[in-house]
Amino acid sequence: MAKVKYTKVMKCADLEIGKSAIIEVGDKEIALFNYKGNFYAIDNTCPHRGSPLGEGRIEEGILICPNHEWRFELKSGWCPQNPELSTEVYPIKVRDEKIYVRLEKPKIEEAAGSTPNTLPTDLKVNIPTVLKPRNPDEEL
């Protein structure tokens, strides 16, 4: 059985609770959040007009776009204003204090239970371009 590929993107210690990072992997930009001690990865490009979701704030698990304040559920990418504009989320695994993101959708025969692979050689990762407090009013 083929393994599901996870790409190592950064160390857990480099993304403190309440902070975010925008990570370039190949031609994708992914917004990575540490929200209340859990990591979430979501497409950085807002499906409304393309603003960087990684610069948005989070309220009660809802990511709010910094531009027109459209909302996306952090876990699922679901957009309450317009479900047709839902954005992509990426599964995450944490191993050995490092964060791994699954960038590709698994093929049907690739079942759960696989372990993270090392960084594929054809992908380039730029470590965080944004690191700032998220919504300091919210208790983390």
Binding site for ligand FES (CB under 6 A): 46, 48-51, 65, 67-68, 70
Determine how β-strand 38-43 pairs with β-strand 28-35. Answer: antiparallel
**Closest distance to ligand FES from the beta carbon of 126 (Å):** 22
Residue closer to ligand FES by CB (options 51, 114) is: 51
Strand segments, DSSP code E, in the chain are: 7-11, 20-25, 28-35, 38-43, 57-59, 62-64, 71-73, 89-90, 92-95, 98-101, 125-126
Nearer to ligand FES, 37 or 50 (CB): 50
Nearer to ligand FES, 51 or 86 (CB): 51
